[in-house]
Amino acid sequence: MRFLIHVMKTHNPSSYSLRRNTLIGLVGITSLLTGSLQLSANTIYTQDFSAGRPGWYNSTSSGGLLVTGGGLKSINTYSRFLTHFDATTLSVGESLNVSFDLKVEAPFDRNDWSFRIGIMDSEGANQVSADDYGSSTDFTNYGGYRINTNIATNGTGVTYFAERSDNAGSLLGTPGSTSLANSANGVNLDADTWYSTQFTFTRTDSTTLDLSFSLNGVTLLDTDTTASTFRFDTLAFYEGDVNSATYVDNVLITTIPEPSTITMVGAAFLLVGLYFKRR
């Protein structure tokens, strides 16, 4: 900033004051726009389990879901656990980001895709409020998407998205779901190592949802052109044949508006550039 003002002053001292004030105004506008861009991500939910596991429920007994070892630990094979967050409905151009850290406690071998993570819509009904919900909750009304993958230390498998139709009682079960078109390799995790996990759902028009998933170098991109829902309020896990305790930590759920603000910031910088070019 000081350098630019120095150039203006030495180039044409008579118009220095006017140019300086104009530049300050342009830079101020650009700063405001940039600030609004940085603040555009809206936090829906965050949890690091430092105060226990409020709002997280296990499908079996409460002893199967613990806060220990730096995160939320699920110790039962075939266990399901979940939480609900403030419902968000995506507008066209808006994205939902879901991220968390994941690890397995012990090495194990498996050749399938039985570990599942779901981002779902409860439609505001039949939300879970206590442990041991596996035998008492009917998830028939739930819609949304899940990822199937293999997180074994050694083994093969595939990673794919499936869309849930709201006609099955089991939340992350195979009945009542339809696999999307694309797939990737299974995800193999080393024991006792934290891995960053990322989902992004972006609504691109009135019927289309772009989906992405990444974990330990495996990235899957897919598109549902006839999305059944753009509303989400549930994050759920299913361990399947995972012969190890699994941990989840640092859950963060945000929404990001359509990138119109980015265009505004670019226009502001272009305006500054044109100003100096004309001088």
Question: Tens digit of pLDDT for each residue in 219-278?
Answer: 999 999 999 999 999 999 988 766 678 899 999 999 999 875 445 545 544 444 544 445
User: Same domain, yes or no, for 52 and 182?
Assistant: yes
Give the per-residue pLDDT at 68.
93
Mean per-residue pLDDT over the chain, rounded = 80
Q: The tokens of 212 are what?
A: 């992405």
User: Same domain, yes or no, for 94 and 149?
Assistant: yes
pLDDT band at residue 25 using 50, 70 and 90 as cut-offs: very low
User: Same domain, yes or no, for 127 and 229?
Assistant: yes
User: Same domain, yes or no, for 130 and 167?
Assistant: yes
User: Same domain, yes or no, for 77 and 181?
Assistant: yes
Give the per-residue pLDDT at 46.
98
User: Same domain, yes or no, for 200 and 268?
Assistant: no
Count of domains for the chain = 2
Question: Tens digit of pLDDT for each residue in 107-129?
Answer: 666 555 578 999 999 999 999 99
Give the structural domain span for 25: 2-38+261-278
Beta bridge partner(s), residue 102? 195, 248
User: Same domain, yes or no, for 122 and 219?
Assistant: yes
Give the per-residue pLDDT at 274.
47
Q: Which residue has the higher pLDDT, 276 or 146?
A: 146
Which CATH number covers residue 249? Answer: 2.60.120.200
User: Same domain, yes or no, for 143 and 201?
Assistant: yes
User: Same domain, yes or no, for 141 and 184?
Assistant: yes
Flag whether pLDDT at 42 surpasses 90.
yes
Give the per-residue pLDDT at 64.
87
User: Same domain, yes or no, for 137 and 273?
Assistant: no
User: Same domain, yes or no, for 121 and 18?
Assistant: no
pLDDT band at residue 104 using 50, 70 and 90 as cut-offs: confident
Average pLDDT over residues 162-168: 79
User: Same domain, yes or no, for 91 and 114?
Assistant: yes
